[in-house]
Amino acid sequence: MGIMKKQGGMITMPFILANEIGEKLAVVGFTTNMISYLTSQLHLPITKAANTVTNFGGTAAMTPLLGAFIADSFAGRFWTVTGMTLLTITTIVPNLRPPPYRNGEARKEADSGQLAILYVSLLLTAIGSGGIRPCVISFGADQFDENDPNQKKLTWKFFNWYYFFMGVSILLSNTVIVYVQDNVGWGWGLGIPSMAMAFSIITFVIGYPLYRNLNPAGSPFTRLVQVVVAAYRKRKVARVSDDSLLYENAEIDAGISLGGKLVHTQSMRFLDKGSVVTQEDDPKAPNPWKLSTVHRVEELKTLIRMTPIWAAGILVITAAAQQNTFAIQQAKSMNRHLTKNFQIPAASMSVFTQASMLVTIVFYDRIFVPVARRFTGLERGISYLTRMGIGFAASLLSTIVAGFIEHRRKNAASANGLINRPHDMIPISVFWLMPQYCLNGVAEAFSSIGHLEFFYDQAPESMRSTSMALYWLSISAGSYMSTLLVTLVHKYSAGMNGSNWLPDDNLNRGKLQYFYWLVAFLQFLNLIYYVFCTKIYTYKPIRAGVIEEIRLQEDVIELKNHV
């Protein structure tokens, strides 16, 4: 992984962040109000629409594994534009969606052909997102030289900046674009995100000559498989008596250890057999399928150690997924009027999540970190594992609160005789939903950014795009788990006293609060599991890398010349 020496650092940040704004405006504007589009325009049942949204989120978050492998964000933008353009066309051509609903008529659900076009457009957008998501975060952090102490401090601030500007983009999507979708039309509402993606492409290209690029050093997946194969082939070889006898080769590892070489650890020692040198091996020109360096073995160990922490984030995403599905359906049934003639679009309620997240990020960076630093002595105030834990606790509290608010909404519907009238407004203010949205924003500011810091810092440097893909994979797993939970609860709660917790057509007759509390219970168990994982977690052991060693040698030579 050689470095192409360019400006990097703060000079390239405006281009990267402007590019991020355009990309997020496009993708979030495309998906924020999707639940409303599916229920109001395609007339899908609530649970089917909710599962379509979470399945799209899960697929879009899974494709970064492919994007990390290809590491080509420009190609990702092409597929994203293609998918959004196709969906925009469906809003303009009447035959590509069912006829509009008229009072007294039965709602006609989208037919198989119309749904096929919808799913193809969502799939194309998901594939495009996969080319962008894992690359842009690690690429932005790579603009700062880790071997420069001053720039290394800025690396961790970058994640706050990245998430802040992403939040601003989502805020605009949840207000301006959602308003256009609800009041101007879905053609413009989906056309604007397509134009935002074009803007992101332009900013990306303009800044390209200034970027600090790391050249690929081969597929990290191949290296991981080689370690496993080498260890398996030598499974019967005796362990070495001295760990210093394990195979190391600085020349072979030079391209994947610029920032630091991983040192041997005592865990998972069965993998060390891949680094045992036998008479059949040629240390000068080794076969990587038979002999691996310690650094490469430790790359695999590091990823394995990260897996339990990674898994803990899945349920947080499962809980957050309800903000874009059932919470929007709750908001649609409540009083959203600010004035007599203006009411807040239901999908725009997530503006409180984004506003809360932005305020929390600023508070964390400007107030919390300096104060915490005095007590902990850590440059970042608290560790990213602690930051994630705070986020998990806030997410748990948000889900508990959501259950109580739904209980209050149901009582208001019952008191006003609206249980069997799902399309009538319940006389209860939509601002009762604010606490759960705001707590979710606080949770995201702590857990999501903590996740990014954790993956970037602990992943081997040659696998940072892959580690960002693992972050998105946790989002994918959380989205699919949400779909599974909704499906199972919808199916099996139907036979419980004749009351389905998650009915298809009337949320007022359901028991959504029970579903929230079920998710909260699972989150509580997950929090206990996470605390246990952090107690036994071993941080990545690393020593000076190639660049730092060269600089130290240069400093010694300069000092001798000066003397």
Q: Is residue 2 part of a domain?
A: no
Residue 1 lies in a domain: no
Of the three residues 188, 212, 236, the one that is the final residue of a domain is 212
Domain match, 335 and 291 both: no
What does the angle CA 484 – CA 488 – CA 493 come to, to the nearest 5 degrees?
150
Reduce the DSSP state of residue 504 to 3 states and report it: coil
**Torsions phi, psi for 338 (to 5 deg):** -95, -35
56 contacts 28 by C-beta, under 8 angstroms: no
| Same structural domain, 510 and 539 | yes
Residue 320, SS3?
Answer: helix
**Does residue 236 share a domain with residue 332?**
no
User: Looking at the structure, do residues 519 and 426 belong to the same domain, yes or no?
Assistant: yes
CB-CB neighbours of 424 under 10 Å: 13
Q: How high is the pLDDT of residue 555?
A: 45
Residues 506 and 541 in one domain: yes
What is the residue range of 172's domain?
7-100+107-212
Give pLDDT, residue 431.
92
Question: Do 177 and 228 sit in the same domain of this protein?
Answer: no
Task: Give the domain-ending residue among 212, 243, 263.
Answer: 212
On whether both 352 and 291 belong to a single domain, the answer is: no
Q: Tell me if 28 sits within 8 A of 170, measured CB to CB.
A: yes
Residue 85, pLDDT score: 59
Q: Are residues 260 and 194 in the same domain?
A: no
Residues 186 and 61 in one domain: yes
| No. of helices (H) and no. of strands (E), the chain | 21, 6
Rounded Cα gap, residues 550 and 295, in angstroms: 19
Same domain, 363 and 460: yes
146: left (phi over 0), alpha (psi -120 to 50) or beta: alpha
pLDDT 10s digit of each residue in the chain, 563 long?
Answer: 444 444 555 566 665 666 566 666 656 655 655 666 777 667 777 777 777 777 776 666 666 556 555 544 444 444 444 555 565 666 566 666 666 656 556 666 667 777 777 777 777 766 666 556 656 666 666 666 666 666 666 666 777 777 787 777 777 777 777 778 777 776 677 677 777 777 776 776 676 666 666 555 566 778 889 999 999 999 999 888 888 889 998 888 887 777 778 889 888 989 999 999 998 888 888 999 999 999 999 999 998 999 999 899 888 888 887 776 788 888 888 998 888 788 888 877 888 988 999 999 999 988 999 999 999 888 888 999 999 999 999 999 999 999 999 999 999 998 998 888 877 889 999 999 999 999 999 999 999 889 888 988 888 877 776 777 777 778 778 888 888 888 888 888 876 665 788 887 788 888 889 999 999 999 999 999 999 999 999 888 777 554 444 444 444 444 444 44
Residue 163 within any structural domain of the chain: yes
pLDDT at 535: 93
Given the structure tokens 């850590």, which residue do they identify? 378
Give a yes or no: residue 38 inside a domain. yes
235 and 249 part of one domain? yes
The torsion angle over the Cα atoms of residues 371, 377, 380 and 383, rounded to 10 degrees, is -110
**Domain end among 191, 212, 233:** 212
Question: Cα angle at 403 between 399 and 404, to 5 degrees?
Answer: 120
For the chain, the domain total comes to 3
With respect to residue 118, please indicate whether it lies within any of the assigned structural domains.
yes
β-strand partners of 543: 261
Q: What is the pTM of this model?
A: 0.73
Q: How far apart are CA 138 and CA 294, in angstroms?
A: 25
User: Terminus-to-terminus CA distance in the chain, angstroms?
Assistant: 36
260: left (phi over 0), alpha (psi -120 to 50) or beta: left
Please give the pLDDT value at position 400.
95
**Which residues are bridge partners to 335 per DSSP?**
429
- For residue 425, the domain's CATH number is 1.20.1250.20
Q: Do 227 and 264 have their domain in common?
A: yes
Predicted confidence at residue 300, as pLDDT, reads 92
- Report the C-alpha gap between 77 and 125 in whole angstroms: 9
Residues in Cβ contact with 22 at an 8 Å cutoff, skipping those fewer than 6 apart = 196, 197, 198, 199, 200, 201, 203
Burial 432-443 (b: 16+ CB within 10 A, else e): bbbbbbbbbbbb
SS3 assignment, position 8? coil
